[in-house]
Amino acid sequence: MAKSKFEYVRNFEADDTCLKNCYIVVRLDGRNFHKFAEQHNFLKPNDDRALGLMTRSARSVMEDLDDITISYGQSDEFSFVFKRTSNWFKRRASKLMTHVASQFSSSYVFYWRDYFGDQPLLYPPGFDGRVVLYPSNRNLRDYISWRQADCHVNNLYNTVFWTLVQKGGLTTTQAEDRLKGTLAADKNEIMFSEFDINYNKEPLVHRKGTALIWEKLEETVTKSVKLPNEAEEEVLVTRTRRRVSAHHCDVIGDQFWEEHPNILEDDN
Ligand code: DGT
Ligand code: MG
Ligand code: MG
Ligand code: MG
Ligand code: MG
């Protein structure tokens, strides 16, 4: 087909192919969720409906897009890791990122009712996205560790902060002053000695966030097969199914990665 004289504009498109052999991480973060949480009466410091909806949306991203091996989420963010050998959309960063962001956002709206029931969604939420490449397993694990450490630091602060306000009767300004300059041990101590709260017994989903991975399930089902003489026979067949499973556990140490050796690919 003859090219039109306009065809040259195609060459203005930037090449955003992601470097080979690198893990491609897409991180989404809710736009202005400080306000979104206020307007939708999210419980403080953690709203399990909101966290559940984030995880449901991330599951939809993993199930509907190709080549995501693990995702990790906390607060209003979720990170998706594409396997390093992925060639999905020729590794074009903008394609990968926008597919993740739009699938996630539409799922967030689509599944809203399953988590918030009759409470209306007041306006369309948005999520920003970014792409980061990690060339080694160590770098990728350090990335996920960084997000989980962020979850821990924020959740510890938020938990003691809202305890001081909700149970201790402090104003938010007083609680802020009280926590100025405190270390993790001080925060644990305030909760334990003044409110009888052992932070380490707080729900894992709040302290550790959520890792979604693919798990193989061996399923045995009975199938009826037709025999040559027209009779039917019931036979047992085993098949392997993949499904996304959620883990609220430490992902910084080695144990998680040793228990799930298929998430990472060889470094060489
Ligand atoms: P951004 O990301 O720059 O557009 O602005 P924000 O406001 O989304 O800021 P960000 O992402 O740093 O912080 C997340 C906000 O979301 C934070 O203000 C608290 C809120 N949030 C997330 N999860 C919950 C929750 O479970 N309960 C409540 N009450 N708030 C939450
Ligand atoms: Mg932000
Ligand atoms: Mg945000
Ligand atoms: Mg955030
Ligand atoms: Mg098209």
Neighbours of 257 (CB within 10 A): 16
Which pLDDT belongs to residue 228? 87
Query: DSSP character for 71?
Result: E
Instruction: Note whether 165 and 171 are within 8 A (CB).
Output: yes
With respect to residue 129, please indicate whether it lies within any of the assigned structural domains.
Answer: yes
47 lines ligand 1 (CB under 6 A): yes
Q: Which among 75, 77, 205 is the best mutation to test ligand 1's pocket, defined by most ligand atoms within 8 Å of the CB?
A: 75
Over residues 13-17, the mean pLDDT reads 95
Condensed to tens digits (0 to 9), the pLDDT of residues 177-236 reads 999 999 999 999 999 999 999 999 999 999 999 999 999 999 888 988 888 888 888 999
Q: Does residue 25 register a pLDDT over 90?
A: yes
Whose Cα sits closest to atom 27 in ligand 1? 46
Rounded Cα–Cα distance for residues 61 and 183 (Å): 37
In a domain, 161, yes or no: no
Which tens digit of pLDDT belongs to each residue from 165-175?
Answer: 999 999 999 99
Judged against a pLDDT cut of 90, whether residue 1 lies above it is answered with no
Taking CA atoms only, the protein residue closest to ligand 1 atom 19 is 34
pTM: 0.94
pLDDT at 76 over 80: yes
Q: Which of 163, 16, 172 is nearest to 89 (CA)?
A: 16
| Site to substitute for ligand 1 among 33, 54, 202, most atoms within 8 A of C-beta | 33
CATH number for the domain harbouring residue 137: 3.30.70.3000
- As a whole number of angstroms, the distance between CA 159 and CA 174 comes to 15
Ligand 1 centre distance from Cα of residue 32 (Å) = 7
Q: Please indicate, yes or no, if residue 8 is contained in any of the structural domains.
A: no
pLDDT at 268 over 80: no
**pLDDT computed for residue 35 by the predictor:** 98
Whole-number pLDDT of residue 19: 98
Which atom of ligand 1 is nearest the CA belonging to 33?
8
Residue-number span of the structural domain to which 32 is assigned: 15-148
Please tell me the total count of domains within the chain: 1
Q: Mutation test of ligand 1: which of 27, 32, 34 has the most ligand atoms closer than 8 Å to its C-beta? A: 34
Q: pLDDT, tens digit, for every residue of 129-180?
A: 999 999 999 999 999 999 999 999 999 999 999 999 999 999 999 999 999 9
Is residue 258 in some structural domain? Answer: no
In a domain, 66, yes or no: yes
Confidence at residue 2, expressed as pLDDT on a 0 to 100 scale: 81
Neighbours of ion ligand 4 (CB under 5 A): 29, 75-77
For ligand 1, atom 3: residue with the closest CA: 32
H/E element holding 146? helix 137-166
The interface pTM score, or ipTM, of the predicted complex is: 0.96
Q: Does residue 230 or residue 99 have the better pLDDT?
A: 99
Residue 141 in domain: yes
Which residues, in sequence order, are bridge partners of residue 223? 235
Q: Is 31 in the pocket of ligand 1 (CB under 6 A)?
A: yes
CA distance 212 to 258: 16
